[in-house]
Structure 1
Amino acid sequence: MTDTLLSIGHGYSAQALAARLCPGWRVIGTTRDAAKAAALRAAGVEPLVWPGTDLAPALDRATHLLSSVPPGPQGDPVVAELEAQLRAADHLEWVGYLSTTGVYGDHDGGWVDESTPLSPTTSRGQARVAAEAAWAALGLPLHIFRLAGIYGPGRSPLDRVRAGTARRIVKPGQVFSRIHVEDIAQVLAASMARPRPGAVYNVADDEPAPPQDVIAFAARMLGRPLPPETPFEEADLSPMARSFYAESKRVANNRIKAELGVHLRHPDYRTGLAAEVETERDARRKA
């Protein structure tokens, strides 16, 4: 039987995983936007528009299942829509749910690991805790991945510096953990090769850092002027952006290394951003 991944909510991180698995795997990916189906097909993914399509045939064929769908006001939409079918899917070898390190809440810059009690301070974090519990209650071979801030090609500080939208917002003591999308794909693939139902993994790089330092490094990499520093209290931020600054913590990643044998390709933001710049230079040289 061909290994088949059903990827529900086939977005940025899941697409990086699919690129790692293909060829060799059959990947079925859902999208809410029918216009994106052609792009998925061109990448070797069988697209399904969902909601709006019966997922039962794809779920029956799948050996592995990944959900990247965030919870909404009414809870996890995948569990709400497919609970009975998921409970009956005892043929699945591996199930992954992409969560967030926001479930840990604020630790005033201190370290958290997978044993840290969940104490989210934002409504988004609280919704993620509820979604993790809903998935855990299904009785599936579940693996939960708590992702730090995601960056990578097309979604990085480099793009914001180029666009002129990057800001160095300074809040004393504020640190964030982050992870390159290629390393998310690496962790997921390693877990699929070494299933441990019930496992929870933090997915973060080795170096939590103040956000203004990351923007400054990106500007220097591109030879652009450093955006001026703006005190947090004076920054005109959306409620969503402001809520990110309500939590400060350093996310430990020892488990993905010890259990899954992962060696991060981008262990810190400097190597991650430098690799992106070098890839862009190679592409221009070949053009």
Structure 2
Amino acid sequence: MLAASGKGQDSRSARVLIAGCGDVGSRAACVLREAGAEVFGLRRSSKPLPAGVEAIRADLSDPASLAALPENIDRLVYLPTPDSRTPEAYRRVFVDGLERLLDALDTATLQRIVFVSSSAVYGDHGGDWVDEKTLPQPPGFNGEILLEAERRLAARGLPATVLRLAGLYGPGRDGLLRRLRAGTARVPTTPFWANRIHVEDAAAAIVHLLSLDTPEALYLGVDDTPLTLDVLYGFLAEQLGAPPPPTGDAPAGIGNKRLSNARLRASGFVPCWPDARRGYSTLI
């Protein structure tokens, strides 16, 4: 499934570079290794990578550290994590870092790029459905910078696919559960939609898009079941044995909308965790 054509030979194992090999990247790397791909994980830190993944210690903000990248990379996954939540940090990794990496790579061998973006590029839609055809209207700097990075990548004319992920949850991402236990989570008085994707499904979606022969340029990465915050939080509070969360202001800078995964589903992807209630229950 991940075989790649090469000059002078019928096929060879895919050579995948994951730029920003953190939690989701490492999960994708494991799936790729199991499929027989040769995987390189680029990250700033020296934290060990999964077995079989070749570590590349580099900083996307430092061109000199990108001087000795592996040759003949045919698939690239770009999902770095900014070191702080500031416009400067986001621009450094998502815009400038992407440009530097593409300048350092031999892009002639690239058959597929998956750029991991965010549903933060969408604004408020009053709870209406949002899909890949919806006009982006970023409500915050993070969405604005990610959208700029998407457009710069498209301008390169490379075989690239953007995956805009919804809110991630899963092992190690239990902030909501902690807030519910502490009684600090709030639900707005009017319906406000939560859009989630389990980290394992996010990683699987990345690998799925790498394997498609003719993917679309854009997909939304979200589960099958948008839930209003009162439904999701109320269910989880009951599972935790915590009091129902009190009412409060709607989350800021997100926008009220329901994200559709119809295009991703139509491509053949099937999430393991189609409903966040079930996914969160496994963490409790």
What TM bracket, shorter-length normalisation? Answer: 0.7 to 0.9
Residues 125-204 of structure 1 correspond to what in structure 2 (within 5 A)?
125-156=143-174, 159-160=177-178, 164=182, 167-196=185-214, 199-204=217-222
Shift of 1:138: 1.8
Shift of 1:176: 2.1
Deviation string, structure 1 residues 110-147 (Cα, Å, up to 9, x no partner):
11111111222222111111010011122221010010
Whether 2:92 is the aligned partner of 1:81: answer: no
Secondary structure of the residue that 1:60 maps to in structure 2? coil
Distance 1:169 1:78 in 2: 37
- Structure with greater helix share of residues: 1
Residues 102-113 of structure 1 correspond to what in structure 2 (within 5 A)?
102-113=120-131
Q: Structure 1 73/192 Cα, relative in aligned 2: closer, same or farther at 3 Å?
A: closer
Q: Letter of the 1:82 partner, please give it.
A: L
Relative to the length of structure 1, the TM-score reads: 0.81
* Corresponding pairs, count: 261
Deviation string, structure 1 residues 30-87 (Cα, Å, up to 9, x no partner):
22223x1xx21x543222222156435434242210000267245613233234334x
Aligned twin of 1:25: 37
Unaligned runs of 5+ in 2: 1-11, 82-88
Relative to the length of structure 2, the TM-score reads: 0.82
Residues 11-22 of structure 1 correspond to what in structure 2 (within 5 A)?
11-22=22-33
Distance 2:133 2:180 in 1: 39
Q: Structure 1 231/221 Cα, relative in aligned 2: closer, same or farther at 3 Å?
A: same
CA RMSD of aligned residues (A): 2.5
Aligned twin of 2:226: 208
Distance 1:4 1:207 in 2: 34
Is the 1:4–1:25 contact (alpha carbons within 8 Å) kept by the matching residues of 2?
yes
Percent identity between the two aligned chains: 32
Which of these residues, 263, 266, 271, is aligned with residue 273 of structure 2? 266
Between 1:47-56 and 1:194-203, the stretch displaced more is 47-56
Shift of 1:202: 0.5
Unaligned runs of 5+ in 1: 234-240, 278-287
Shift of 1:161: 5.2
Distance 2:104 2:183 in 1: 44
Aligned twin of 1:49: 57
Structure 1 runs, 4 residues or longer, greater than 4 Å off: none
Which of these residues, 139, 145, 154, is aligned with residue 121 of structure 1? 139
